Amino acid sequence: MSRKSESARIDIYARITDRIVADLEKGLRPWVQPWSAGNMAGRITRPLRHNGQPYTGLNVLLLWSESIACGFTSATWMTLRQANELGAHVRKGESGATVVYASRFTKTEKDAGGGEVERDIPFLKAYTVFNCDQIGGLPDHYYRRPEPVAEPLERIEHADRFFANTGAVIRHGGSQAFYQPSSDSIQMPGFETFRDAESYYAVLGHEVTHWVGASHRLNRDLSRYHKDRTDRAREELCADIGACFLCADLGIVPELEPRPDHASYVASWLKLLDGDRRAIFQAAAHAQRAVAYLHDLQPKVEERQAA
C-alpha cells in the first residue's frame, strides 16, 4: 500500500473517531441516540440500503448519528448513482453522509528464499450516501415511514423467544446484571424490578453480547476484563453497541435512563478512543459479529419469517 493511501486510511479512522468522541463528550452514546429523538418516534430499525438490506457494524452508528443531527425520518440511504438509476435526484445543496467499506485483497510477494507467497492486505474505503429525505423523485415506497410498534402488554414474546433460542443460561436474582465466565451464565435482576420490559431486554442484550465472547464461542478473550481497564473499556463498548443492534433487530426500544455505570463507562471510552483511533471500528465489528452469531442460533424458519 502506498504512503498516500495509508495516510488516507488513517484519516478516515481519525475523522470518524473524532465524531464519536464529540458525541460522547456531550454525554451522548451515538448508538442509543435514535430512540431519544422526537423525529424517530416510529419503529426503530437499522439504517437500510437502497435494496432494503440493513447496514452493519460501524455504518449503523454513523447513519443513526447523521439521522439525528439532520432530523431525517427515513431509514433508507443510497448513493448518488443509485438514486439516478431510479430516475431520482439528490436535491440541490444537500450534503451526503460518510460510510465505510472494509475488505481485503491478496498480493503475491517474494519471500526471503525467492519463492512466491500470498499476503492478505486489509483496506478501508469511504464513500458517500444520501438519506431518502434528501432525494426527490423516488418511487413512493421509499418515502413510507416504519409503522410504530404497538405497546407491549408485559413481556415481549418474540424477544423472550429470541434469547431462549440462544441457549444461554440466564439466572434471575439480586440487583446486578453481569456475565459470569466461570459458570458461563448470565445473572439478571428480576424482570419485575425493571422500569419497563424494553429496559430488561436491552440489559439482557448487553449481557448476551458478553456471553457470545466466551472462548468456546467467538473467543473475544475476556481474561483481562477485571485486570486491565483498557480491555474492560473495549469489551463494554462492544457490549453496549451490540445491545443496541439487537434492540433494533428485535424492534424494541432500549432503556434510556442512565445506569449507574454509564458515566464511568463513557469516561473510559473517551480515554480509549483518545489513545486508539481504531477502537470504535473494532468495537462495532465485534458487536456485529456477536449479533450475527446470536441470529445464527435462531431456528431457520424464524429467519425466513423475519426476512
Tens of pLDDT, residue by residue over 113-141, are: 777 777 777 777 889 999 999 999 999 88
Please write the tens of the pLDDT for every residue from 75-85. Answer: 899 999 999 99
Q: How far apart are CA 91 and CA 84, in angstroms?
A: 12
Helix or strand run (H / E) with residue 125: strand 116-131
Residue 62 burial class via C-beta count within 10 angstroms: exposed 0-12, middle 13-18, buried 19 and up: buried
Residue carrying C-alpha cell 469511504:
126
Whether 96 shows a pLDDT value over 90: the answer reads yes
Q: How far apart are the first and last CA of the chain?
A: 39
Cell digits for 178? Answer: 453481569
What is the pTM assigned to this prediction? 0.70
HSE toward the beta carbon, residue 70, CA cutoff 13 A:
19
Burial of 73 (0-12, 13-18, 19+ CB in 10 A): middle
Decide if pLDDT at 147 tops 80.
no
Q: How far is it, in rounded angstroms, from Cα 292 to Cα 246? A: 10
